[in-house]
Amino acid sequence: MAKALEGLRVLECGRMAAAAYAAKLLADLGATVIKVEEPQGDIARRYGPFPGGEPHPEKSALFLYLNCNKKGITLDLRQPEGQALLQRLVAWADVLVHNYPPPEMAARGLDYEALARANPRLVMASISPFGHEGPHRDYRGYDINVMAAGGWAWLNGWPGHPEEPPLKAYGPQTEYQAGIAAAVALLGALLHREETGQGQHIEVSGQEVVATELEFVFPFWPYERRVPVRWGQRIIAPWDYFRCQDGWAFVICVEEHQWERLVELMGDPEWAHWEIFSDRTRRAQNYDVLRPLLEEWFAQWRVDDLYKAAQAKRIPLAPAYDAAGLLESQHLREREFFVSLDHPVAGTYRYPGSPYHGFSETPAEVREPAPTLGQHNQEVYGGILGLSQEEIAALRQRAVI
Amino acid sequence: MAEHGKGPLSGYRVVELTTAWAGPYAGQVLAHLGAESIRIESVNRLCVTRTIVPFAEGQRHYDRAGYFCEYNQGKRSVQLNLARPEAVELVKRLVAMSDAVIENFAAGVVERWGLGYEELKKVKPDIVMVSMSGHGRTGPLRNYVSYGPYLVALSGFATLTGYRGWEHPMHVGMSYPDPNGGWHGAFAVMAGLYYRKCTGRGQYVDLSQWEAAIALLGDAILGYLMNGHQPPRLGNRDPVMAPHGFFRCAPARDGELPEGLLPEDRWISIACGSDEEWQALCRVMGRPELARDPRFATREARKANEDELERIVEEWTLTQDPFEATRRLQEAGVAAYPALNNKEVAEDPHLNARRFFTEKEHPVVGVRKHTGIPWRMSATPCEVWRAAPVLGQDNDYVFRQLLGLSPDDIEELKRKEVIL
């Protein structure tokens, strides 16, 4: 069966997760992706976890995961020869996605006007922490800074603990989000190109992507002149984690009927009918009274039994899973979510697959492991660009590739 | 000719059978790209985002809800009571003249209404339909109830995120699996539309928001398989960089803060990925001698002495205003930014200079600031063409202009509570 993006040719440059995730999304739907690494390798290769905690550039869990289904080449974009090769690759490609920030682009030949001369149909997406215009365009930003600048980190903490700092979420999450935003915009530009033949340049700001993800928090200022804080009470209750016999469970009652069924499951205790718990807002206001009563009840349960019992009554309650819980999930197994891949250096592991593997016409698929550093140099420089063995050897000698 | 959004999807029409945050977020992404996104609503099934805070000036009403208005910009709203067969027929007629359908109800709900893919493709064979349920449409948990915060727990985020040494699972600050599910849903629609453009064929996509959240944690899953345990909670530390964290700043002065904030609750994020960045930080702190201190000279040394390193950095930040310190650090080439709250995001000079925010007139709440479109496209610039709709704002447009009903037909449908 055809893949949704089969035949689409994508070049990816940059480091860490943003461009890599954008290109992974395209690769998993069948696009041919060439990942361009600088000769010393993507910095993601320094990030683990690693087997036994021993850093190894071919065994980085982050790199292995983000770069399935791609071809990998090395190319020094800071050398003029490297930039000339990039131009030739651009002539081959439909899409270039990168996440070098604005101050680092010119030195690598990443100029849309110049690249469009090599390929006027090129769709190029530039992902950066703060975008390409505005007073902070040249600011440096790692994931933690972008999370701070977009207003997300301020919100992450724990009720009742104002002494603790804002907290970063696990992993380079702002990069994943900027990456998928770029992938969505790229497909829009490709639709336009199919109609008009016209390529274009897209810029994506990580700070802006994060700012669109603040839930009901952003409008609190324009609507009520209020500033929610990470250590304050939730606006509705219950909305919390509770310790059970063998782990933790989470429950949220958004609708009143969900609370009513939770009360039913708890055996209809008398306190559940107290006036102070009569709706979701009051339960939040009186949460210091409610929490101990719920704690006592949750403590009697085993997590999995409670999960089943609560969901049988359509109460939104979940185990707080760790990786082991996910890997053991019967549901994910039946959906064949995890995919086993054999990497020549790192070995065989199960990887998260594609979350929309239900594409009825064009199934998505994680099928090839991440490339080792420069694994496809021969195939790309010799095959796609048609360079001779001597030329490739000379490029290698001059450390261009 | 009706007004609509600008962008590469201009001329495309999307029917939204959505609720809460993830589905509407996907619909808004498509509207941002220029699609005419039509949201099916009803007073007997109001979206939760119309019913919770914040409300304009605190006055509780479904047309004053900031949460709804933040995530439904540039969309149309039409009222249809899907409990009535006539309403379902009208949705089908609308789908027949549309390009895509997105829905994020629990598995089986749209089928019960008679609006499943098998039905919709009869009226529009090349429709692209994306279901974005919590657990996907197959598997034993397919009927379980799901919300974004629930998926924070179920995906592993809650056990991976956290302050060092805390055992308690953590929320991640917002219902992250919702916008993430929304992005992945929008991506699936776009891939489906692209494939249709190339082949003429529509299709159905079963997106699991749970799986879309796990897709952000692939390194942790592999880490578990490599070592038999998942990565430990690092708080704000980074596996490679140091310093890397939030550092407390000087307290705010009297009168500087909105109600409810603590003066000492002011933080700056600082991260040094290279020795050069660390040396620059030392200069800005007025401690150039630290750059040569062997305890901190290399990345490995800084990681090994991170407690002391953080103590030294915070000793300095405690005397600093977070905004002024950010300016000085960035000038010297150090990655830094204050931890902005929602007011500070709204007032951020950079975002405002970029004209990121939208300020469109809404029929009930007037002009309010909302977050805008997080990309810029050179050939097909995108723009939010109007504020979020009041309930049923586009009844007339949809029923008369698109579906060709007469005023009498419409009155009759209102009387029969089909339009509700």
Chain A hits for B150, CB-CB cut-off 8 Å, are 250, 252, 316-318
CATH, range B13-216+352-415: 3.40.50.10540
Output the CA angle B230-B242-A322, nearest 5 degrees.
15
CB contact under 8 A, B337 and A141: yes
Domains in chain A: boundaries: 9-213+333-397, 239-322
CA distances from B334 to A170, A208, A238, B202, B247 (A): 22, 21, 42, 49, 14
**Residue whose tokens read 């209102």:** B414
Chain B hits for A361, CB-CB cut-off 8 Å, are 195, 201-203
- Both tokens of B53, joined, read 């805070």
The β-bridge relationship of strands A200-205 and B375-377 is antiparallel
Is A44 within 8 Å of chain B by CB?
no
Q: How far apart are CA B103 and CA B116, in angstroms?
A: 10
B252: Cβ–Cβ under 8 A, 6 or more apart, which residues? B261, B263, B264, B266
CB contact under 8 A, A327 and B179: no
**Residue whose tokens read 């609308």:** B94
- Both tokens of B39, joined, read 């949201």
Q: Is A321 helix (H, G, I), strand (E, B) or coil?
A: coil
- Boundaries of CATH 3.40.50.10540 in chain B? 13-216+352-415
- Both tokens of B173, joined, read 């600050």
CB contact under 8 A, A167 and B235: yes
Is B59 within 8 Å of chain A by CB?
no
Q: How far is B111 from chain A (nearest CA, A)?
A: 17
CB contact under 8 A, A311 and B162: no
Residue A1 has pLDDT above 60, yes or no: no
Q: How far apart are CA A43 and CA B398, in angstroms?
A: 52
Question: Which tens digit of pLDDT belongs to each residue from A222-261?
Answer: 999 999 999 887 889 999 999 999 999 999 999 999 999 9
Chain B hits for A332, CB-CB cut-off 8 Å, are 139, 211
CB contact under 8 A, B156 and A321: yes
ipTM over cut 0.95 = yes
**Residue whose tokens read 């969309």:** B75
Is A246 within 8 Å of chain B by CB?
no
Q: How far apart are CA B172 and CA B161, in angstroms?
A: 7
Q: Which 3-state string (H, E, C) describes B352-393? A: HHCCCCECCEECCCEECCECCCCEEECCCCCECCCCCCCCCC
Q: What are phi and psi of B153, to 5 degrees?
A: -70, -45
Q: How far apart are CA A101 and CA A304, in angstroms?
A: 46
CB contact under 8 A, B226 and A51: yes
In chain B, the residue whose alpha carbon lies closest to the alpha carbon of A44 is B240
Q: Give the model's pLDDT for residue B259.
A: 86
Among A162, A235, A352, the residue with its CB nearest the CB of B218 is: A352
Which A-chain residues 176-195 have CB contacts (< 8 A) with chain B?
Answer: 176-177, 180-185, 187-192, 194
| Mutate which: B51, B144, B375, vs A, most A CBs within 10 A | B375
Q: How far apart are CA A201 and CA A137, in angstroms?
A: 17
CB contact under 8 A, A65 and B218: yes
Among A218, A252, A325, the residue with its CB nearest the CB of B342 is: A218
Output the CA angle B320-B321-B325, nearest 5 degrees.
75
Q: How far is A386 from chain B (nearest CA, A)?
A: 29
Question: Which tens digit of pLDDT belongs to each residue from A62-91?
Answer: 999 999 999 999 999 999 999 999 999 999
Is A257 within 8 Å of chain B by CB?
no
Q: Is B363 exposed, middle or buried (0-12, 13-18, 19+ CB in 10 A)?
A: exposed
How crowded is the C-beta side of B417, counted as CA atoms within 13 Å?
5
Q: How far apart are CA B64 and CA B79, in angstroms?
A: 17
**Residue whose tokens read 């009274």:** A289
Residue A46 has pLDDT above 90, yes or no: yes
In chain A, the residue whose alpha carbon lies closest to the alpha carbon of B11 is A192
Q: How far apart are CA A202 and CA A39, in angstroms?
A: 27
Contact A281, A232 (CB under 8 A): no
The β-bridge relationship of strands B100-103 and B76-79 is unpaired
Is B236 within 8 Å of chain A by CB?
yes
Q: How far apart are CA A3 and CA A363, in angstroms?
A: 6
Q: How far apart are CA A312 and CA A224, in angstroms?
A: 38
Q: What is the pLDDT along chain B (420 residues), one digit of tens a residue?
A: 456 778 999 999 999 999 999 999 999 999 999 999 999 999 999 999 999 999 999 999 999 999 999 999 999 999 999 999 999 999 999 999 999 999 999 888 999 999 999 999 999 999 999 999 999 999 999 999 999 999 999 999 999 999 998 888 999 999 999 999 999 999 999 999 999 999 999 999 999 999 999 999 999 999 999 999 999 999 999 999 999 999 999 999 877 788 889 999 999 999 999 999 999 999 999 999 999 999 999 999 999 999 999 999 999 999 999 999 999 999 999 999 999 999 999 999 999 999 999 999 999 999 999 999 999 999 999 999 999 999 999 999 999 999 999 999 999 999 999 999
CA distances from A271 to A21, A262, B243, B252 (A): 49, 13, 49, 42
Among B55, B137, B369, the residue with its CB nearest the CB of A358 is: B137
Is B139 within 8 Å of chain A by CB?
yes
Q: How far is A137 from chain B (nearest CA, A)?
A: 8
CA-closest candidate to residue B182, choices A70, A60, A90, A177: A177
In chain B, the residue whose alpha carbon lies closest to the alpha carbon of A163 is B265
Is B217 within 8 Å of chain A by CB?
yes
A140: Cβ–Cβ under 8 A, 6 or more apart, which residues? A101, A129, B277, B330, B333, B334, B335, B336
A352: Cβ–Cβ under 8 A, 6 or more apart, which residues? A65, A337, A338, A339, A366, B211, B214, B215, B217, B218, B221
Q: How far apart are CA B144 and CA B140, in angstroms?
A: 9
Among A185, A326, A357, the residue with its CB nearest the CB of B375 is: A185
- Helix axis angle, A173-196 to B177-199, nearest 10°: 20
Q: Give the model's pLDDT for residue A2.
A: 74
Architecture of domain A9-213+333-397: 3-Layer(aba) Sandwich (3.40)
Is B246 within 8 Å of chain A by CB?
yes
Chain A hits for B138, CB-CB cut-off 8 Å, are 334-335, 358
- Both tokens of A268, joined, read 């209809």
CB contact under 8 A, B344 and A151: yes
Chain A hits for B212, CB-CB cut-off 8 Å, are 355-356
CATH topology of domain B244-339: formyl-coa transferase, domain 3 (3.30.1540)
Q: How far apart are CA A140 and CA B138, in angstroms?
A: 44
Contact B381, B387 (CB under 8 A): no
Annotated catalytic residue: which of B63, B99, B126, B178? B178
Chain B hits for A184, CB-CB cut-off 8 Å, are 29, 33, 183, 186-187, 190
Among A29, A166, A200, the residue with its CB nearest the CB of B191 is: A29
- Both tokens of A106, joined, read 């010119």
The β-bridge relationship of strands A247-252 and A317-319 is antiparallel
In chain A, the residue whose alpha carbon lies closest to the alpha carbon of B54 is A220
Is B258 within 8 Å of chain A by CB?
yes
CA-closest candidate to residue B182, choices B47, B69, B71: B71
Q: How far is A396 from chain B (nearest CA, A)?
A: 27
The dihedral through the CA atoms of A350, B184, A194, B96 has a sign that is positive
Tell me the residue type at B193: L
Which A-chain residues 326-355 have CB contacts (< 8 A) with chain B?
Answer: 326-327, 330-332, 334-335, 337-338, 349-355
Is A57 within 8 Å of chain B by CB?
no
Q: How far is A391 from chain B (nearest CA, A)?
A: 35
Q: How far apart are CA B356 and CA B346, in angstroms?
A: 10
Longest dimension (CA), chain A: 85
Which A-chain residues 80-119 have CB contacts (< 8 A) with chain B?
Answer: 112
Q: How far is A352 from chain B (nearest CA, A)?
A: 6
Is B195 within 8 Å of chain A by CB?
yes
Q: Give the model's pLDDT for residue B41.
A: 98
CA-closest candidate to residue B27, choices B45, B44, B49, B43: B49
| Mutate which: B371, B373, B382, vs A, most A CBs within 10 A | B371
Read out DSSP for A99-157?
Answer: ---HHHHGGGT--HHHHHHH-TT-EEEEEESS-SSSTTTT----HHHHHHHTTSGGG-S
Which segments within B186-307 are labelled E, that is strand?
Answer: 203-208, 244-248, 267-271
Q: How far apart are CA B36 and CA B15, in angstroms?
A: 8
- Boundaries of CATH 3.30.1540.10 in chain B? 244-339
Task: Please give the DSSP secondary-structure letter assigned to residue B250.
Answer: P
B335: Cβ–Cβ under 8 A, 6 or more apart, which residues? A139, A140, A141, A142, A145, B269, B270, B271, B272, B273, B277, B329
Q: How far is A95 from chain B (nearest CA, A)?
A: 14
Question: Which tens digit of pLDDT belongs to each residue from A203-227?
Answer: 999 999 999 999 999 999 999 999 9
Q: How far is A14 from chain B (nearest CA, A)?
A: 15
Q: Give the model's pLDDT for residue A244.
A: 98
Q: How far apart are CA B14 and CA A137, in angstroms?
A: 34
A57 CB neighbour count, 10 Å cutoff: 16
Beta bridge mates, B132: B207
**Residue whose tokens read 């683990």:** A48
Catalytic status, residue B178: yes
Chain B hits for A322, CB-CB cut-off 8 Å, are 156, 159-160, 224, 230
Dihedral of the alpha carbons of B272, B275, B276, B282, in degrees to the nearest 10? 70
Residue A356 has pLDDT above 90, yes or no: no
Q: How far apart are CA B341 and CA A154, in angstroms?
A: 6
Architecture of domain A239-322: 2-Layer Sandwich (3.30)
Cα A393 → chain centroid: 37
Residue A323 has pLDDT above 70, yes or no: yes
Q: How far apart are CA B64 and CA B49, in angstroms?
A: 10
- In this prediction the pTM is 0.97
Q: Give the model's pLDDT for residue B1.
A: 42
Mean of pLDDT values over A114-120: 96
Q: How far is A166 from chain B (nearest CA, A)?
A: 7
